[in-house]
Structure 1
Amino acid sequence: METVEKIAKFITRFFPVWVILFAVIAFFYPALFSGYGSWITYLLGLIMLGMGLTMTLNDFKLVLTRPKDVLCGVVFRYLIMPLVAFGVGKLLGLPPLLAAGLILVGCCPSGTASNVMTFIAKGDTALSVTVSSINTVLAPILTPYIFLLLAGTLIPIKAEALLVDILKIVILPVALGIIIRTVASDFVDKVTKVIPLVSVVSIIAIISIVVALSAAKLATVAVIAFIAVILHNALGLGIGYGASRAVGMNHKKGKAISFEIGMENSGLAVALAIAHLDPIAAIPGAIFSVWHNFSGSLLAGYWAAKEDKD
């Protein structure tokens, strides 16, 4: 098990490097990955199962003890990022499918990486975990219908089909993970350190498949898509922090909400785009998967260092 843990640390530590490496391989040799498009849903389900294995019922307790903080986090999450994505798409004049893909990223719940970044930044980790958990539970209802409202004028959307897929891809695996953790906690404790490895490998595989599927068109949209993702992410982090402070949250809570807003479950956006839209619409989610970990790490490191000085 120690060897596996060392491998897990090595791979997760250099996550961006592996993503770039495999994305480049997938771009130049798409045939290696393009035949595995149907795997994306299962890979994301595996990631969500891992998320469920790390969750407990205690993750929801802040709903009762700090309802205002949690409510603000949830409302900001499903208000700010979808609207920012819509605005960025209009500002940059993105093609309809690319704009829809960016909006879809914004409509998805926050990802587990937000909890890690909040912890590193010495923010309110308990608030981050609770908001992530509630956002995930609400995703089947809020994600498809907010997406329909904002992107429905750009492309045809079947919100009910998105709802069903989110239930299958997100809620069922997460619920299964929580059940397994509840009935077999000793086993889960033994494999906890390996879970990040499974998640990272799955994300790398998903991104590689998306790049391979859209390789022919990627060269024409990569630059504008990258600019759109950077703007979307930066505005989300900044507005999320500003909004939290505006409603009276302290700096520690603000850091948590910033990451909850600016960091997405972009893997879900990729899976939904592939299943219901087009590989081009999955490009923003694939780029976001890499970029938000990079930007989030920089911001978390800055806040942590500033905290140490203060």
Structure 2
Amino acid sequence: MKWIERLSSFAGKYFALLVIAAAITAFLVPEIFIPINAYVPILLGVVMLGMGMTLKPVDFKLVATRPLPVLLGLVAQFTIMPFTAFMIAYLLQLPPELAAGLVLLGSVPGGTASNVMVYLAKGDLPLSITMTSMSTLLAPIATPALLYLLAGQWLPVNFVDMFTMIVQVIVIPVIAGLLINRFLPKVAAKTSVAMPLVSVLAILAILSAVVAANTGSLIQAGLISFVAVMLHNAAGLALGFIAALAFRLPASQRRAISIEVGMQNSGLGVALATAHFTPLAAIPSVLAAAWHNISGPILATYWSKRPLPPEATSPLNKKRAS
């Protein structure tokens, strides 16, 4: 099993490079990866099952014990990102499919990679995990509602169908993973070693499939989409930090909220765009999967070298590890 641990560690460390390599390969030989598109929802469900298996009851304790940072982070998540995406789409005059895809990227919950970045940045890890979990559980309502409000002018949004899909591929797998971790701890312990690697492979397969199906679109709209994604990510990181600063939260929580707001669940964005919009609408989420895993480590490395005051450390960090 140690070789699986080493592979998992390697995949996590070089995830951004693996994403870029997979995207280039899919772009050059798309015919190999196009059939994977039929399995994108299943692959995403596998990723979310792995996330659920890492959750513990203490991850939800902050909602009751320290509600302010959690609520602030969730409000920032579902306001800053979708409305910033809307404004960027207008300012750059993106085509309808790309505009809707960028708003979709801004409307999905936080991604699991953000937890790793918060840990590396010496941020409040329990807060980060709680925000990811809560935003994921809120996604069936929040994501379709935001899309209907902001992206309906570009592409039709079917609230019920999107709600149903998010429940099926996100909420149910997360709850299933949480129940496995709670009632079948031995099974969870045995599979926990391999799940990070399985999740990385599933995400790479999803992204490769979408790139393969959109080679022509990437040539035409790749540059402007990448600029839009970079601006969107930078705005989320900066405005999330400013929001936490405005409420005088400690440094560790400011770092956590900044990263949580700025990094999205791009895999969900890809799956929803492919299923409910057009393949071109998935491009922002595809590009975000690579860029977020470049900007995130850069920011985490910068913050990791700036020590926190002793009182900034979350009291739940030790509890979660036990």
In the superposition, the TM-score normalised over structure 1's length comes to 0.97
CA distance in 2, matches of 1:138, 1:13: 29
Q: Which residue of 1 aligns with 2:88?
A: 88
Q: Which residue of 1 aligns with 2:68?
A: 68
1:255 deviates by: 0.3
CA deviation map 1:209-230 (0-9, x unaligned): 0000111221000000111100
CA contact (8 A) 2:53 2:177 kept: yes
The residue identity in structure 2 corresponding to 1:277 is F
Q: Which runs of 4+ in 1 moved over 6 A?
A: none
The residue identity in structure 2 corresponding to 1:259 is I
CA contact (8 A) 2:45 2:170 kept: yes
CA contact (8 A) 2:15 2:293 kept: no
CA distance in 2, matches of 1:274, 1:113: 22
State the secondary structure of the residue aligned to 2:264. Answer: coil
- State the identity %: 45
CA RMSD in angstroms, aligned pairs only:
1.4
Correspondence 1:185 to 2:185 = yes
CA deviation map 1:190-224 (0-9, x unaligned): 33232211111111111100000111221000000
Q: Which residue of 2 aligns with 1:283?
A: 283
User: Which consecutive residues of structure 2, in runs of 5 or more, have no partner in the other structure?
Assistant: 311-322
Q: Which residue of 2 aligns with 1:101?
A: 101
The residue identity in structure 1 corresponding to 2:236 is G
Matches within 5 A, 1:104-253: 104-253=104-253
State the secondary structure of the residue aligned to 2:193. Answer: helix
Structure 1 residues 217 and 163: CA distance shift in structure 2, 3 A: same
CA contact (8 A) 2:251 2:308 kept: no
Q: Which residue of 2 aligns with 1:20?
A: 20
User: More deviation in 64-73 or 187-196?
Assistant: 187-196
1:308 deviates by: 7.6
CA distance in 1, matches of 2:226, 2:171: 30
CA contact (8 A) 2:108 2:269 kept: yes
CA deviation map 1:136-180 (0-9, x unaligned): 111101110011100011111111111000000100000110111
State the secondary structure of the residue aligned to 2:154. Answer: coil
State the secondary structure of the residue aligned to 2:74. Answer: helix
User: Which consecutive residues of structure 1, in runs of 5 or more, have no partner in the other structure?
Assistant: none
CA distance in 2, matches of 1:179, 1:308: 35
In the superposition, the TM-score normalised over structure 2's length comes to 0.94
CA distance in 2, matches of 1:309, 1:222: 42
CA contact (8 A) 2:121 2:300 kept: yes
